[in-house]
């Protein structure tokens, strides 16, 4: 009887084959061929290995020959050119991918993006007319594979934010200089040691300001059911139970600022967030801080902040307010945004009220709770690169608030008083402040 053909495995090859033979991630082909080589290294005959692995003796012999000629990887992989040839040509694939990169509305469909079933139906519909008859019977799974190979996901959307403000870096720098000045007002233990002052020696109070519009007042249509100790009938923890139905009662807008030195939050809840609401908030700040001090606001370029009505009020209190504008798409530079996030997660999430007035009262109550132990908000990112000795801090804030307010060349200027607007001015209160 002829002696069984045996192979010699190196230690590295043996470890590799043993890992594949037990790995859950190995393919069926890798699993079978690794076991074949391991059995052959132990002196098994081709027939015995074939019977053990449920393959033919020729399969065992070919696997051993590939190992002897090319090593482990040659034995585990198929030779080039093996297998069924592709029925779908490369031209068909490129056509399908290019079609997936368009949008349904561009070809008269209602959807915004292609989803697998709709995309498959459209490909089948137009394939013959566009010179790709094989694609007229393509399956959804095949199209999914083509898109996966091309790394295209026509049903998904990824959002981005383009910097369209040509002065983004300069405005960001200005905001960071203000934050650096505030940082220098505290000692290492976080105690306030000196309030910032301007070149005239006036105390400067810095506040981070923004609006949160569209806060919904939602009422329940039935009573909430509180949790019950002891769990439900199946022993699961119980929760608050609420009827899915609800009633919309309208919306409110929150105008708020946080004092970056003291941490005190100042709210104003309004029906809207127009210029008149913003002017009302400025008047509230004017009455809250000592006369003669400067109130410096870090805020965005909302139209209410740069309107004629706002400028008309500022002209009546010259030198009282100073604005530092964040760049377009730079709201993340405004610390009050973090406060709004905390407000939304701690109080507004899941809130139900019986009226808009109740919503207003609960928002103000939340601010009262926060102000019981105010915590100053601190900014640290990017401040190590700011050298106050090389900065003219007084040149950063400016009180001009008109359509050109954010142009560096207009800093320090005041816009002219707006003209009378007759009946419309009387309604908004502009006429009184404009002629003061």
Q: Is the pLDDT of residue 81 over 80?
A: no
Whole-angstrom CA distances from 101 to 112, 120, 253, 326 are 12, 14, 40, 36
For 254, residues 6+ apart whose C-beta sits below 8 A from its C-beta are: 211, 212, 213, 215, 267, 268, 269, 270, 363
Query: pLDDT of 3-12, one tens digit each?
Result: 567 888 888 8
Rg, C-alpha atoms of the chain: 36
For 317, residues 6+ apart whose C-beta sits below 8 A from its C-beta are: 286
Query: Is residue 398 helix, strand or coil?
Result: strand
What's the confidence (pLDDT) of residue 418? Answer: 41
pTM: 0.64
Q: What is the average pLDDT score of the chain?
A: 85
Contact status, residue 49 vs residue 36, Cβ threshold 8 Å: yes
Mean per-residue pLDDT, 64-86: 79
What's the confidence (pLDDT) of residue 397? Answer: 57
What's the confidence (pLDDT) of residue 417? Answer: 46
Cα-based torsion angle of the residue sequence 419, 425, 428, 434 in order, rounded to the nearest 10 degrees:
40
CA–CA gap between residue 26 and residue 20 (Å, rounded): 6
What's the confidence (pLDDT) of residue 398? Answer: 45
Query: Is residue 249 helix, strand or coil?
Result: strand
What's the confidence (pLDDT) of residue 85? Answer: 64
Q: Is the pLDDT of residue 408 over 80?
A: no
CA–CA gap between residue 367 and residue 365 (Å, rounded): 5
pLDDT bucket at 184, cuts 50 / 70 / 90: confident
Q: Is the pLDDT of residue 407 over 50?
A: no
Beta bridge partner(s), residue 31: none
Q: Is the pLDDT of residue 431 over 80?
A: no
Query: pLDDT of 313-335, one tens digit each?
Result: 999 999 899 999 998 888 889 99
Pairing relationship of beta strands 294-299 and 321-325 according to DSSP bridges: parallel
* Token duo for residue 79: 């030779």
Mean per-residue pLDDT, 73-82: 77
For 247, residues 6+ apart whose C-beta sits below 8 A from its C-beta are: 218, 219, 220, 221
Q: Is the pLDDT of residue 63 over 50?
A: yes
Least confident of 78-87, 142-151, 282-291, 336-345: 78-87
What's the confidence (pLDDT) of residue 391? Answer: 73
Candidates 3.20.20.70, 3.30.9.10, 3.30.420.10, 1.25.40.10; correct CATH number of 168-434? 3.30.420.10
Whole-angstrom CA distances from 330 to 333, 342, 406, 410 are 6, 19, 14, 21
What's the confidence (pLDDT) of residue 165? Answer: 81
Q: At what angle do helices 28-41 and 11-22 cross, to 10 degrees?
A: 130
């Amino acid at each position: 009887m002829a002696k069984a053909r045996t192979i010699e495995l190196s230690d590295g090859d043996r470890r590799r084959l043993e890992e594949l033979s037990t790995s859950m991630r190995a393919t069926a082909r890798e699993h079978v061929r690794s076991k074949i080589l391991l059995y052959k290294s132990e002196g098994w005959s081709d027939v015995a290995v074939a019977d053990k692995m449920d393959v033919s003796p020729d399969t065992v012999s070919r696997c051993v020959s590939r190992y002897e000629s090319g090593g482990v990887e040659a034995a585990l992989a198929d030779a080039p050119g093996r297998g069924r040839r592709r029925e779908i040509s490369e031209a068909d694939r490129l056509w399908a991918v290019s079609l997936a990169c368009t949008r349904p509305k561009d070809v008269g469909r209602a959807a915004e993006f292609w989803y697998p079933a709709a995309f498959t139906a459209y490909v089948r519909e137009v394939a013959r007319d566009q010179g790709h008859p094989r694609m007229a019977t393509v399956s959804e799974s095949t199209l999914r594979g083509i898109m996966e190979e091309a790394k295209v996901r026509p049903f998904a959307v990824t959002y981005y934010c383009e910097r369209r403000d040509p002065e983004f870096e300069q405005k960001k720098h200005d905001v960071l200089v203000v934050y650096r000045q505030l940082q220098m007002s505290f000692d290492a233990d976080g105690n306030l040691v000196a309030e910032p002052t301007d070149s005239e020696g006036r105390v400067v109070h810095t506040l981070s300001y923004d609006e949160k519009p569209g806060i919904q007042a939602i009422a329940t249509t039935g009573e909430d059911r509180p949790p019950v100790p002891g769990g439900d009938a199946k022993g699961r923890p119980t929760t608050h139970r609420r009827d899915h139905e609800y009633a919309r009662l309208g919306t409110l807008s929150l105008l708020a600022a946080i004092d970056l030195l003291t941490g005190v939050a100042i709210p104003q809840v309004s029906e809207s967030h127009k210029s008149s609401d913003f002017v009302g908030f400025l008047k509230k700040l004017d009455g809250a801080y000592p006369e003669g001090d400067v109130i410096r606001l870090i805020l965005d370029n909302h139209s209410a902040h740069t309107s004629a009505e706002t400028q008309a009020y500022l002209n009546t209190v010259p030198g009282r307010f100073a604005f530092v504008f964040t760049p377009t798409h730079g709201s993340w530079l405004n610390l009050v945004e973090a406060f709004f996030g905390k407000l939304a997660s701690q109080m507004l999430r899941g809130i139900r009220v019986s009226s808009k007035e109740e919503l207003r009262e609960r928002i103000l109550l939340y601010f009262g709770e926060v102000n019981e132990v105010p915590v100053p908000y601190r900014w640290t990112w990017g401040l190590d690169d700011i050298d106050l000795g090389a900065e003219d801090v007084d040149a950063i804030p400016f009180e001009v608030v008109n359509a050109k307010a954010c142009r560096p060349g207009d800093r320090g200027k005041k816009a002219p008083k707006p003209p009378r607007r007759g009946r419309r001015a009387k309604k908004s209160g502009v006429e009184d402040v404009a002629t003061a």
